[in-house]
Structure 1
């Protein structure tokens, strides 16, 4: 198991409610290598995902979000 961790912020274009964001986060957490996924009601368009880059890449995270029918982009710092 890798000891490296990375995080990425995903911007979701659509307005989503709390329950929809929870479903997306649960789906992301089920992916191998994802340690956490979170969002806050104060900033509903942003979701932060912590993951092991040796096991999964940010593109797969984004593809998982967009597969739910949403439009989204990765935000880099």
Structure 2
């Protein structure tokens, strides 16, 4: 299985509880290997490792935007 990763920025004021919920929702999507915020250095940066044969970056961003409509995909 090939994997890819992306970095998605969410609003810096998104609560810790909301970030935890977001991590779980993204991690539960088909094709997602891991989804984690860097809680110490960049708590607004979500790093997602995924299988591009199953889901693409735009699909992941759509899930994130349910929680933060201004979220942006940066890529890695």
TM-score by length of 2: 0.88
Match of 1:28 in 2: 26
Match of 1:74 in 2: 73
Match of 2:55 in 1: 56
Segments of 5+ residues of structure 1 without an aligned counterpart are: none
TM-score by length of 1: 0.87
Give the RMSD, CA atoms, in angstroms.
Answer: 1.3
**Larger CA deviation: 9-18 vs 41-50:** 9-18
Match of 1:6 in 2: 4
Deviation at 1:41, TM superposition (A): 2.3
Within the candidate set 23, 39, 42, 1:41 is matched to 39
Q: Secondary structure at the match of 2:67?
A: coil
Deviation at 1:14, TM superposition (A): 4.3
Deviation at 1:19, TM superposition (A): 1.6
Q: Secondary structure at the match of 1:4?
A: coil
| In structure 2, C-alpha distance between the alignment counterparts of 1:14 and 1:49, rounded to whole Å | 18
| 1:13-68: CA deviation from partner (whole Å, max 9, x where unpaired) | 24122221110010001110001000122211100000000000000110101112
